[in-house]
C-alpha cells in the first residue's frame, strides 16, 4: 500500500504567511528586532516597552511592535537559544535589517564586575541551535555595530569589554569544569542566546550585535541567586538601562 504525504517544513513559510500570522502589514516590517533573555520577564518587558510608542502585541504571543522615533521596533523576551532562534528567524524572513541581543551574562574573568558591559566579538556556540544556521564553531558580531555600540557605551566610569564569548544551552547544566575550561581559554563571559542570535541573523544577511551586562561573578563563585552588594546592584540596574537605550540608539542610525 502506498501512503501519500504532504509534509511541509516551517522553513518553507513565506514572508506573506508570516505577515498574516503576526498581523503586520508590509509597511510595518520592523527595522530592528531586539530580544532579551531573563527570568525577570514581566519587569524587563515593562521597562523596555515603556520607551516605545504605538505599542501592540502581535497576533503571535509575546512579540511586541512599537515605534522609536522614525524606526519600527520589534521586541521579545526570548529566553534561551531555541526561542531566540525562532524570533530572529521570523524577522529574518521578513527582511528586518538589524538584530540586537541584550541581557545579562556570567563573567568568566576575574577583572569583570557586576554592571560591566560585555560586547561579544567572536562567539563560540555550544547551545545546540547556532550550528544549525552557520558553519564552524564561532560566529562574529557585525563589526560596524560593535564599534558603534562601544562608542556609545564608553564614558568615564563605565567598563566596557570586547572579546570572545561562549553561549551554552542551559544555565542549570553548567559545571565548574566548564567554567574553568572557558576561563583558561580566555573567554570573557557566557550566556544562553548570543551565538544563536548572531548565527540566525547571518543566515538571513541581517546585521547583528550583542550587548550584555555582567551579573554572575563566576570566578568568585557568585551566581545570580547569591547576595550582591548594593553598589553592584545599582551598577547592574544602570547598565541594564544603558544597553537598551544603546540598542535604540543603534536602531536610530539605520
Q: What range does the domain containing 188 cover?
A: 13-252
Q: pLDDT exceeding 70 applies to what percent of the chain?
A: 99
pLDDT of residue 2: 64
Q: Does residue 8 sit within a domain?
A: no
pLDDT of residue 156: 76
Burial class of 194 by CB neighbour count within 10 A (0 to 12, 13 to 18, 19+): buried
In a domain, 6, yes or no: no
Share above pLDDT 90 across residues of the chain, in percent, rounded to a whole number: 92
Total count of domains within the chain: 1
d(CA 61, CA 57): 7
What whole-number distance in Å separates Cα of residue 138 and Cα of residue 153? 25
Does a structural domain hold residue 108?
A: yes
Q: pLDDT for 173-219, tens place per residue?
A: 999 999 999 999 999 999 999 999 999 999 999 999 999 999 999 99
Asked if the structure places residue 7 within a domain, the reply is no
Identify whether 231 is part of a domain: yes
Band of the pLDDT at 141, cuts 50, 70, 90? Answer: very high
Indicate whether 3 belongs to any domain.
no
Q: CA of 50: how far to CAs of 43, 62, 81, 171, 232, in Å?
A: 11, 15, 25, 29, 24
How large is the average pLDDT for residues 74-97? 98
pTM: 0.96
Cα–Cα distance, 153 to 30 (Å, whole number): 24
CATH number (domain holding residue 169): 3.40.50.1580
What's the maximum distance between 2 C-alpha atoms anywhere in the chain?
75
Q: Considering the domain boundaries, does residue 1 fall inside one?
A: no
End-to-end CA distance of the chain: 57
pLDDT digits (tens, 9 = 90+) for 63-77: 999 999 999 999 999
Q: Determine the pLDDT at residue 1.
A: 60
27, part of any domain: yes
Amino acid at each position: 500500500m502506498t501512503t501519500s504525504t504532504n509534509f511541509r517544513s516551517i522553513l518553507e513559510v513565506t514572508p506573506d504567511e508570516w505577515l498574516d500570522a503576526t498581523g503586520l502589514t508590509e509597511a510595518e516590517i520592523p527595522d530592528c528586532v531586539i530580544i532579551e533573555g531573563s527570568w525577570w520577564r514581566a519587569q524587563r518587558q515593562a521597562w523596555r516597552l515603556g520607551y516605545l510608542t504605538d505599542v501592540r502585541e502581535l497576533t503571535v504571543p509575546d512579540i511586541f511592535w512599537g515605534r522609536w522615533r522614525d524606526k519600527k521596533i520589534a521586541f521579545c523576551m526570548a529566553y534561551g537559544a531555541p526561542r531566540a532562534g525562532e524570533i530572529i528567524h521570523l524577522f529574518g524572513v521578513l527582511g528586518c535589517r538589524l538584530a540586537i541581543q541584550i541581557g545579562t551574562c556570567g563573567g568568566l574573568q576575574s577583572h569583570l564586575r557586576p554592571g560591566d558591559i560585555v560586547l561579544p566579538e567572536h562567539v563560540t556556540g555550544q547551545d545546540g541551535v547556532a550550528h544549525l544556521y552557520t558553519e564552524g564553531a564561532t560566529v562574529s558580531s557585525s563589526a560596524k555595530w560593535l564599534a558603534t555600540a562601544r562608542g556609545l557605551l564608553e564614558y568615564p566610569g563605565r567598563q566596557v569589554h570586547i572579546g570572545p564569548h561562549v553561549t551554552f544551552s542551559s544555565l542549570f547544566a553548567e559545571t565548574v569544569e566548564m567554567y574553568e575550561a572557558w576561563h583558561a581559554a580566555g573567554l570573557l563571559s557566557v550566556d544562553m542566546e548570543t551565538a544563536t542570535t548572531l548565527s540566525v541573523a547571518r543566515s538571513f544577511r541581517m546585521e547583528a550585535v550583542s550587548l550584555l551586562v555582567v551579573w554572575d561573578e563566576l570566578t568568585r563563585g557568585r551566581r545570580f541567586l547569591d547576595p550582591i552588594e548594593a553598589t553592584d546592584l545599582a551598577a547592574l540596574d544602570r547598565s541594564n538601562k544603558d544597553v537598551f537605550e544603546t540598542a535604540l540608539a543603534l536602531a536610530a542610525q539605520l
